A and B are shown apart, each in its own frame.
Chain A
């Protein structure tokens, strides 16, 4: 005999009833009217799966009728009388703590597997088939922040030299990208590439280089980041991380954040594998273009020198680690150019270029329009 509350589904008046567990159902015994039988299968258990929860049975066909029993033992007795009743088995509760522990471990494992191993493969696949137009729009939306128009130097001599470098490097290739290289007035030693072919190089860097071949080495490296779609991959990866964070924190307002291109590329970092791959690919471009490969190695030596004593160099060094190793990686290629290298720019142009850089010349876009 069990004591229970019976709700009739008609009024908010609870009825205290007695319950007898029978082989075919529950006998509900009222104090003021004849008892009725709840047949197993005609009612279901809706509550009473956790400690501290009361057991609640609801009739499937009659709206609102329910029985609430505050002793979970009734479930075991029902199980003894009718093992097929299918109600919750309180004995299984002792497995709950291990189950939760197992779930926790599984979640950590799955997230690690997904995020660390499956997602990168997936993202590389998407980055591989992403249309160049989309990459360009991504790069365009960010270049305005990273290399703002008012900081770009548009002096004729700079344009000329970079056009020549770009043309030489891309001539032997058949790439779907239009490379746009900006000279940015900035004392830091830095060069970067954005998805879709946007590139920038700082005047701080140009001040330290001694030949067009050295610049070509850096440009070839950055072009490889574009061609191998390292930036696009990093952006997609960052997007998926943010989507994950937004999903966990359970906010729809996270969507803006997930799609904020500027912030995405701002958070861009290439891995060392990407750097090495861009180094080797860049070196191959240099060789194909019959450019003296020494320039690229010298460019890295300049970096090494700077990271030694110049705090300015830290920016470049932090994203391009282990310059010494990179030089070692490229040295086998130094002798592989079988023909005589062809100079990129004429001596007179180089002299004009070097003088302009040393003098800190920088013609801004608005000034140019005024002329």
Chain B
């Protein structure tokens, strides 16, 4: 599985590199169960340390070019990140409920509700997206070299505010432009050591796909959007490069649909107990469908790690850890 046998249409065969995943659902299940017990006994505090154990396992079972990935996050970091987010939520929530409770008029109800939604959607989410991405990369290494993210949260706000706003008022039809801009910002500032990732796309290319996904979602009982999701996956990766090599995704709508359907059924019929197996299936499914093609000289890549909290961004540093489990779908 390490080397793909697929060949590009016409031309010479190039080496296609791929991630391999060796994790077993059974081992992960054992980790999960012990984590849950310890989390209950410690009134939830162990949850963060348990999360680190799961990530350690997932990273250490992921291989690229014969070497495994490593995770470097700690339970303490995750715990404090969560505490910070809670402080923010309590302040915003308290403000919102306070206004609704004391000013009993209709306007104050509206203002109170707005504060909550605007606070979460326009402040917490963008900070969380960047913070989580920065944290995830800076805590991941391969062959001893760390990944890093060097974008500024301030700049992210400039993309996020108008993008989110336009997506909301166009009922989602604007979202391809927003997604492409977000991805550009997040990917182009991502590094492995000294080597940079690059993404270049245009929202226009996905506009009609997204359009039909929204329009046909209900008539096709939610099935059609899977095909668009696969198209988008292929598009995103086909426009993504790392150093001198080019990514390619082979994801197909039908595969994705069956995969998600089986995941859903597994979770429902085991009351969520199958979650570790779903995690393993997901890693395999994704890694099998992403190829990195072309010449790539890994040996010249040098360590150039930036600490997640050393980006000199003032106030947003405060929230620069991962405190929400936001899956960006970037990997």
Which A residues are within 8 Å of any B CB, using their own CB?
A: 5, 7-14, 46-48, 50-54, 56, 58, 63-66, 68, 96-97, 99-100, 103-104, 106-107, 110-111, 248-250, 252
Contact = CB atoms under 8 A, between A and B. Distances in A.
Could you tell me the dominant secondary structure of chain B's interface residues?
A: mixed
Interface in B258-287: 272
A103 B273 CA distance: 14
B143 A54 contact: no
B60 A12 contact: no
Interface of B: 22-24, 27, 29-31, 33-34, 36-37, 40-41, 56-57, 60-61, 66-68, 70, 141-146, 192-193, 272, 298-303, 305, 324-325
B67 A68 contact: yes
A320 B21 CA distance: 57
Contacts of B299: 11-13
Contacts of B298: 12-13
13 contacts: A7-B143, A8-B144, A10-B303, A11-B301, A12-B192, A13-B143, A50-B27, A52-B23, A52-B27, A53-B61, A100-B30, A104-B33, A250-B325
Contacts of A63: 303, 305
Given A56-B70, A248-B272, A66 B144 contact: yes
Q: With a 10 A CB-CB cut-off, give which of B33, B70, B143, B192 has the most chain A CB atoms.
A: B143
Contact of A12 (B37, B56, B68, B143): B143
Given A11-B299, A65-B144, A66-B70, A103 B57 contact: no
A145 B40 CA distance: 37
Contacts of A97: 30
Contact of B144 (A9, A53, A54, A248): A9
B305 A14 contact: no
B145 A103 contact: no
Contacts of B23: 52
A56 B60 contact: yes
Given A12-B143, A12-B144, A103-B37, 4 more contacts: A11-B300, A52-B24, A64-B303, A104-B33
A12 B298 CA distance: 6
Contacts of B67: 5, 14, 68
B68 A54 contact: yes
Contacts of B24: 51-52
Contacts of A47: 56, 60, 68, 70
A110 B40 contact: yes
Nearest to A99: B34
> 7 tightest CB-CB pairs across the interface, nearest first?
A7-B144, A12-B301, A103-B37, A64-B144, A13-B299, A47-B60, A100-B30
Contact of B56 (A9, A46, A111, A252): A46
A54 B302 CA distance: 24
